[in-house]
Chains A and B, each alone.
Chain A
Amino acid sequence: MTTLPPPTARKLGLVIDLDICVGCHACAVACKEWNDGGSFGPLPDSDPYGAEPDGVWFNRVHTYEISGIGNGESGIAGKPRVGKRESGIEKAGAAHKSPCAASIPHSPLPIPVATQTVHFPRSCLHCETPACVTVCPTGASYKRAEDGIVLVDEDKCIGCQLCAWACPYGAREFSAKRGVMQKCTLCVDRIYNETLEPADRQPACVKACPTRARHFGDLGDENSNVSKLVAERGGYALMPELGYQPVNRYLPPRPRRDASQPKPTSHPEPPDEMPMPPLLRWIDRVLSR
C-alpha cells in the first residue's frame, strides 16, 4: 500500500557528523558489501571490472569545499536558513574567489584560512512523508508503520523509476541488471537480526565508520542517544522546505581554529628546582641544547 501509515512513534534513522567524517567511503563500501549478500541484494554491477563500472550503491560520499567562512562561527542550526539566490554549491572548476585567501604565515602555499573541506555522505533519509512512496503505482514502495523505515518490495516493483524522480535526495537508484529500484534499507536485516551479537545489530555503515561519524537510533524518542546528539550539536534536516520531513539528521562542522593567527605560545615548564641525580642532570643538559 503506497498510502502512508499514520505518523510513526518510532523513527529509526541515522545521524551523520559532518565535523568528523573524513570521507574514507568505508560506509559506502560496507553498505555495498552487506547488502549485496543481504535480504535485499544482490546489488550487481554492469561491467564491474571494465572501463565503465555501473551499479547501485545506497550510500554516496560527496566532498565539498566551504569558502568564505565567517568569524569561526558554525551556526547552521542557529542561523535562519535564508534561501539563497543560487544554490550554495558552486560547480567544481568554477573560478574560485575566496574572500579570505590570505596565506598562513611561513607557509609555502597560499592556504585560504577561512576554507574548510566537508565530506558529505548521502543516503536515504527515511522521510516521514516520502513522495517516493506515494507516487509508486504498484505498492512496491512502502513505509513501515512500526519503525518508519522506507523499503522497496523488489517482487512487486515494475521498474517505472517514478520514485527516483520524486526523491530530491537521490536516495534511489535503479538496478539496470535487476530491472527494479533499490535503496537503503537501514539494514533492516541486521538491526532486528537476533543471530547477531546485540552490538552488531546496527546498520553496516554505522559499524564500519572508523571515526564514528555515523550514529543509528530512534529519532522519535527524545531521550535516545541520537536525539540528544541532535539537540546538543544543532543537527539539521536536508531541504526541509520541500516538506518531506526527513528523519535523518546532519551535525554541522564545528568552527575551526583560525590558522592565520599564530598559535598561543606555549611556555616551557620552568626547570625542575629539585636536585637531580648526576646522570639525569647530564641528560637534561644534553636534551636542552
Chain B
Amino acid sequence: MRPTFSIIFFTVASGAGYGLWILSGWLSLLAPRLADDRNAWAATDLVGAALCAGFLLVSAGLFSSLAHLGQPQRAWRALSQWRSSWLSREGVAALLCYIPAGAMLLACILGGWATGDAIDTRSSNWLLRMAGSRGAGGILLLLAIVTLFCTANIYASLKPIRAWHNRFVVPAYLVLGIYSGVLWLWLLIGMTQAPTTSSSLLIGICAAAIAAGLLKLAYWQFLDKPGAAAPDATGLGALGTVRSVEQPHTEENYLTHEMGFRLARKHARKLRALVLAFGFGMPALLAVLALVLPSAGAWASWLAVLFGMGGIFIERWLFFAEAKHVVMLFYGARSG
C-alpha cells in the first residue's frame, strides 16, 4: 500500500496526542494522592501541559487526515455511519475526546494555574469541580483508548490486506500511542519542573519501549512467515498455472498506484532495524541514563522524543509500505 504522508502524520501525531491524554487522565485519577504532595501545584501544571500538548498533537493529526480526503469540506459526513464503519467511529470518538480534555484544561487553567492550587475538587464553581474531578480524567482516559482502538481497527478490519488484518495491529497502535505519550510526558515534566520526574516514569519508558519492540518483532515475524494460502484470484488456478501475459492498461492506474507500491520492501530490513535501534532502543537507553545521571534528564528527554517519534514515523511508513493488497494478484503478484 502506498504510504501517504498525511495519513502517516495523522496516525503518528494523533497517536502521541491520545497517548498524552490517556496519561493526563491517569495522572488526574492520581490527583488526590498528588495533592498531598507539597508541590501539588506543579502536578496541576503537568496535567495542564500534557492536556495542552495532547490537544496540539491530536488537532494537528486530525487536520492532516483531512488533507488525504478528495472532498475535505464534506468531512463532517464521516460522523454519521458509526453503526458499521470504524472510520466513522474513530471520528466520533476523536471529537468526543475534546469534551473531557477541554473541560479538564479549563479547570487546570482557571482552578490550578490561576490560584497556584492543585486541581481543586472543593471549588465553589460546580463546573470547575466537575471538570477537575477524577470523573473527567477517567472519561478522557477511556475515550482516548477507545479512539486509538478505533484507529487501529480501521486497518485491522480490512480482510484483503494480510499485513493489517491480524491480531498484532490493535495492540501495536495502543502500545505505540502510550509509548509516544510517555516520551512527551517526560519532556513536559522537565519543562514544568514537576516533581513527578520519579524513577517510576523512566522505568515506565523502558517498559513501554521493550513492549513496543517485542510487539513489532512479533508482527514482522508474522509478516515474513509465508502466510496461509494466497487466494486463487481468478479462480482459474484449478485448470493449470495462471500467468498474467497482458495488463488491462498500458499506464499505471489508481489500483496499481495505490496498492502496487513496492519501493519499501527492498529496504525493509534496514528500516526495521532502524526502528528497533533508534525508535525504541535509544529512548530506553536515554531513560536509563537519566536514572543514573539525573542531571542529564533535561536534554535526554528532548533526544528521546526526537528519536522515539522519528522511529515511530518510520514504523508507520513501513506499516503501509510493506502491506500487500489481494487485488494485485490480478496483476500477477505472487502473494496477497
- What 1/0 mask marks residues of chain B from 45 to 78 whose CB sits below 8 Å from any chain A CB? 0000000000000000000000011111011011
* B119 → A minimal CB distance (Å): 36
Residue in B86, B236, B246 whose beta carbon sits within 8 Å of that of A76 in the complex: B236
- What 1/0 mask marks residues of chain A from 136 to 156 whose CB sits below 8 Å from any chain B CB? 111110000000000000001
Chain B residue contacts of A74, Cβ below 8 A = 239
Given A62-B247, A70-B240, A90-B242: A138 and B332 interface contact (C-beta under 8 Å):
no
Given A2-B85, A168-B326, A179-B70: A81 and B232 interface contact (C-beta under 8 Å):
yes
* B245 → A minimal CB distance (Å): 5
Given A158-B72, A167-B327: A63 and B244 interface contact (C-beta under 8 Å):
yes
Taking a contact as CB atoms under 8 Å apart, the answer to whether A84 and B230 are in contact is yes
Taking a contact as CB atoms under 8 Å apart, the answer to whether A90 and B243 are in contact is yes
Taking a contact as CB atoms under 8 Å apart, the answer to whether B154 and A89 are in contact is no
Within 8 A of A (CB), among B178-192: none
Chain A residue contacts of B243, Cβ below 8 A = 64-67, 89-92, 94, 96
- Interface check B258, CB cutoff 8 A: yes
Taking a contact as CB atoms under 8 Å apart, the answer to whether B327 and A89 are in contact is no
* A246 → B minimal CB distance (Å): 11
Chain A contact-residue range equals: 35 or more
Taking a contact as CB atoms under 8 Å apart, the answer to whether A117 and B69 are in contact is no
Interface contact tally, CB-CB below 8 A: 271
Taking a contact as CB atoms under 8 Å apart, the answer to whether B87 and A162 are in contact is yes
Q: Count of chain B residues with Cβ under 8 Å from any Cβ of A?
A: 67
Within 8 A of B (CB), among A86-107: 86-92, 94, 96, 98
Q: List 24 A-B contacts (CB under 8 A).
A: A18-B236, A52-B252, A60-B253, A69-B240, A74-B239, A83-B232, A84-B232, A87-B232, A88-B233, A89-B243, A89-B333, A94-B243, A116-B239, A118-B242, A120-B234, A120-B236, A133-B84, A135-B84, A135-B158, A165-B160, A165-B259, A168-B159, A173-B255, A241-B231
Besides A67-B243, A116-B240, 18 new A-B residue pairs in contact (Cβ under 8 A), listed by A number: A54-B252, A64-B234, A74-B239, A76-B235, A87-B336, A89-B237, A90-B241, A90-B332, A92-B332, A122-B330, A134-B85, A135-B154, A161-B258, A165-B158, A167-B160, A180-B71, A181-B70, A252-B235
